[in-house]
């Protein structure tokens, strides 16, 4: 078991009072299961911004970290396209007045086909995994596939191919094809995480996930803990 995985029980204990695991810790939990996320830093103190930013490449996205702010965009808690350190300081100051402020998450910007990958504990069937093409496909066409967890990489690939927008995965209007093998392996790992933590976590929402010919990257993650 790697170091990040060993920290899961303590991570869950810290998050229990709020019901949700903070995004930086949710991403660490994903990384502990070899699920790739954006490169990010969690900056809790203004004085550490310069040192922390040395590990990232601009442009970046800044997000507020707060257990009471789940929908960051609606709370004006997200700034994209930041290209210099002064703007990171400005973002920190702007977000610091928000409720239960616990720092900022700064992450490198990524591109690719937008996907959604999630899980929830069904009362009858247990943990299930959901995959879909992100953006308008999910919101308007409800283009999703649901499978019982855990699933194999082959089952993940079959679920992706069953989507109405599956053609987007193989390239569309000049866009490069997605690395389906890498994406399917990532979904397999995600499904095992959801299954292993079914007694602690009610649902996981990775949205958006960006995929291209070379990478699969979780850009945002939320995890809801099970109630007592």
What residue spans define the domains of the chain? 3-108, 113-225
pLDDT at residue 1 tops 50: no
**Domain 3-108 in this protein, CATH class:** alpha beta
Secondary structure of 162-221 in HEC code, one letter for each residue: CCCCHHHHHCCCCCCCCCHHHHHHHHHHHHHHHHHCCCCEEEEEEEEEEECCCCEEECCE
Contact 91, 82 (CB under 8 A): yes
Choose among 121, 182, 171, 169: nearest CA to 149.
Answer: 121
Q: Quote the mean pLDDT of the chain.
A: 90
Contacts of 98 (CB under 8 A, 6+ apart): 64, 66, 69, 75, 77
Least confident of 17-21, 120-124, 217-221: 17-21
What's the mean pLDDT in 72-89? 95
Q: Tokens standing for 73?
A: 């965009």
Contact 58, 83 (CB under 8 A): yes
Contacts of 79 (CB under 8 A, 6+ apart): 61, 62, 87, 91, 94
Choose which CATH entry (3.30.470.20, 1.20.1420.30, 2.40.40.20, 3.40.1010.10) describes domain 113-225. 3.30.470.20
Whether the model clears a pTM of 0.95, i.e. scores above it, the answer is no
Choose among 220, 218, 224: nearest CA to 36.
Answer: 218
Distance CA 23, CA 88 (A): 18
Task: State the pLDDT at residue 210.
Answer: 96
Task: State the pLDDT at residue 71.
Answer: 86
pLDDT at residue 38 tops 60: yes
Task: State the pLDDT at residue 4.
Answer: 47
């Amino acid at each position: 078991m790697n170091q990040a995985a060993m920290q899961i029980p303590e991570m869950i204990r810290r998050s229990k009072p709020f019901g949700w695991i903070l995004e930086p810790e949710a991403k660490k939990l994903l990384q502990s299961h070899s699920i790739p996320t954006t490169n990010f830093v969690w900056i809790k103190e203004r004085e550490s911004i310069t040192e922390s930013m040395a590990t990232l490449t601009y442009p970046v996205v800044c997000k507020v970290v707060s257990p009471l702010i789940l929908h960051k965009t609606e709370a004006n808690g997200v700034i994209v396209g930041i290209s210099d350190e002064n703007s990171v300081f400005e973002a920190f100051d702007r977000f610091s007045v928000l409720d239960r402020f616990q720092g900022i998450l700064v992450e490198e910007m990524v591109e690719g086909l937008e996907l959604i990958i999630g899980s929830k504990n069904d009362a009858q069937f247990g943990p299930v995994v959901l995959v879909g093409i992100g953006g308008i496909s999910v919101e308007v066409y409800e283009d999703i596939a649901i499978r019982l967890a855990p699933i194999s990489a082959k089952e993940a690939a079959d679920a992706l191919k069953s989507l109405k927008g599956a053609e987007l995965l193989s390239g569309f209007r000049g866009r490069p094809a997605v690395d389906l093998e890498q994406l399917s392996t990532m979904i397999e790992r995600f499904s095992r995480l959801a299954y292993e933590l079914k007694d602690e976590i009610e649902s996981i929402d990775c949205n958006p996930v960006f995929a291209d010919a070379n990478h699969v990257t979780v850009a945002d993650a939320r995890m809801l803990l099970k109630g007592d």
